[in-house]
Chain A
């Protein structure tokens, strides 16, 4: 379903939204208030970005009592990887990514 894929790429095409995904990756299941902390964005802006992420199912929400918690959903990105990365390439790509992280880590101190 390429229409869904358009939504995913559109949602990923903004640094603010990628930052929100990073925040959820660091700590999954946050409220809007928690996500807004330490972010240089208005609550309204965060709400708008979260809506686009939700429409792309990159973020899913679950109610826990009166709290609405936001979770990173890895499925859309996984499906993109499945579509363009063969299973035999995956191991080599992981090794290269690890090498890159290691070398860049050394350079940066």
Chain B
């Protein structure tokens, strides 16, 4: 296999507009994405970074493609773990499609190398974060433990 890739699909009872805000705005990400915030001007070519609660920058990249409420493609390099930083940029894609009263969210995380440590590491976190996102949008409350950054990292 030339690349490492994970795909996550979840159907969320919400609107594309609300899901888009949840994926990009701090007010939402703090609740379901472990108290992190993203900093970006959210336009093609703009820089993007994920900041964890103690102020460290966990990941950086650029906005490759952006179509509000439909599609967002980011490059993504980790900075917390040297062995992951060394792998360079991965690519993260969010796709939002209305599907009969719900929105189908497809999240794809890819790295052009086999056995990527970064893609493997995030494959543990993504299901947890995305099901918390779904629960937050459907019930108003995120899942226990996803509103703070894990102590050990």
Contacts and interface: CB of A to CB of B under 8 A. Distances in A.
A28 B9 contact: no
A60 B7 contact: yes
B7 A78 contact: no
A62 B5 CA distance: 11
Contact of A57 (B11, B127, B135, B145): B11
B132 to A, nearest CB: 9
A27 B145 CA distance: 30
Contacts of B128: 78
Interface string B1-18: 100011111110000000
A87 to B, nearest CB: 5
B135 to A, nearest CB: 8
A93 B123 CA distance: 19
A68 B127 CA distance: 23
Contact of A29 (B5, B11, B135, B143): B5
B10 A71 contact: no
Interface size class of B (residues with CB under 8 A): 20 to 34
B7 A62 contact: yes
Contacts of A60: 7, 9, 106
Interface in B76-132: 106, 108, 123, 127-128, 130-131
Contacts of B5: 28-29, 71
Given A57-B11, A71-B7, A62 B127 contact: no
A66 B129 CA distance: 32
Main secondary structure of the interface of A (DSSP, over half): mixed
Main secondary structure of the interface of B (DSSP, over half): mixed
Contacts of B134: 79
Contacts of B143: 82, 87
Interface string A60-93: 1010000000010111001100100001000000
30 contacts: A4-B11, A27-B1, A28-B7, A29-B5, A29-B7, A57-B9, A57-B11, A60-B106, A62-B7, A62-B108, A71-B5, A71-B6, A73-B7, A73-B8, A73-B9, A74-B8, A74-B123, A74-B127, A75-B8, A75-B9, A75-B127, A75-B130, A75-B131, A78-B128, A78-B131, A79-B131, A82-B131, A82-B135, A87-B143, A87-B144
Given A74-B8, A74-B123, 8 more contacts: A62-B7, A71-B5, A71-B6, A71-B7, A75-B130, A75-B131, A82-B131, A87-B145
Interface of A: 4, 27-29, 57, 60, 62, 71, 73-75, 78-79, 82, 87
